[in-house]
A = this chain, B = another copy of it.
């Protein structure tokens, strides 16, 4: 698809609007808006027929490849309503670039970046009434691609669907930022270099479910993943990137092929740089974190991701032992990052990096 010849996105409006759930009952990813975006791919023809249609079930042949071989990629981003009523997206071009990087790993034909961005923008515009305005709420946007060829055989599909669906989501922290307990996972592995850990693809999440369930038994809400080779280096926490503050220096695992290149992670690093806070992307062993905790040098720990933005870690569960981080309280850095990022997202403070994109043109 040549730049400058972007196809028109057809709009087939829903006959009637669904009732909108009250803001205090939104939850996460359980309610969906009136419309969705759809585009088809066929080998030889490429991506075609971009359109916005009423939100509806999709009919798949039972042999559709995605159901058997998990050839699928997805993204997650949010639209925010500012106090002045503007609706804006947070760094959407980053999500589209990552979607296409995931496509390469999964042998899925990439999408035109300009078209995908316009599809997101136009879909949010179409369902702008679904962007909630209450504190902490937002509209979660889920672009995804699935392999649809009706063929039970291990090979890249010859047909795909690109869809975008949207869900109004409640405040992640209804009662303010709350630290979580995290279990260090020593049995299951999420990903390994050479695998698909740096792609946003279903298989990584399927692999993570068992450990997440186990963690709940130990009172932890998420797991801290260690690397699959040495079983020693910190990778991610749940489906978020992870940061530690040790001796005044912020450290986060380097992008080594097995962890996700998070957009919130990237934004946090940019903010820390702007603030003059020393930050390092490098290998971090769990022993180093344990030692820092023992010596009283582990000042803070937190996860970063689109859903929670910043998720302070108040406790690490390591081999059955519970290590309190910062006395189980939210650290000042996590708090400042949360206030700054959400401040930019909701338009409460200036956007010095040009991260926000207006939906209405």
Q: List residues of A whose CB falls within 8 A of some B CB.
A: 28-30, 32, 36, 55-63, 66-72, 74, 76, 104-107, 140, 142, 144, 146, 150-156, 163, 165, 167, 187-196, 201-210, 212-213, 228-229, 231, 238-239
Instruction: List the B side residues contacting A150 at CB < 8 Å.
Output: 30, 32
Task: Give how many copies assemble into the complex.
Answer: 2
Contact of A62 among B72, B165, B203, B208 (CB under 8 A): B165
CB distance B58 to A156 under 8 Å? no
CB distance B228 to A71 under 8 Å? no
Instruction: List the B side residues contacting A212 at CB < 8 Å.
Output: 154-155
Instruction: List the B side residues contacting A209 at CB < 8 Å.
Output: 69, 71, 106-107, 154-156
Q: Is the interface of A mostly helix, strand, loop or mixed?
A: loop
CB distance A239 to B154 under 8 Å? yes
CB distance A202 to B193 under 8 Å? no
> Can you list 6 A-B pairs, Cβ within 8 angstroms, ordered by A?
A30-B150, A69-B205, A69-B206, A188-B194, A189-B195, A196-B206
Give the complex CA separation of A205 and B32 in angstroms. 30
CB distance B152 to A63 under 8 Å? no
Interface centre among A36, A61, A151, A192 (most CB of B within 10 A): A192
Instruction: List the B side residues contacting A63 at CB < 8 Å.
Output: 29, 32, 142, 165, 167
CB distance B57 to A57 under 8 Å? no
Instruction: List the B side residues contacting A154 at CB < 8 Å.
Output: 205, 208-209, 212, 238-239
Give the complex CA separation of A346 and B194 in angstroms. 40
Known: A57-B61, A63-B29, A155-B209. A192 touches B228 (CB 8 A): yes
Known: A29-B63, A59-B58, A63-B165. A193 touches B203 (CB 8 A): no
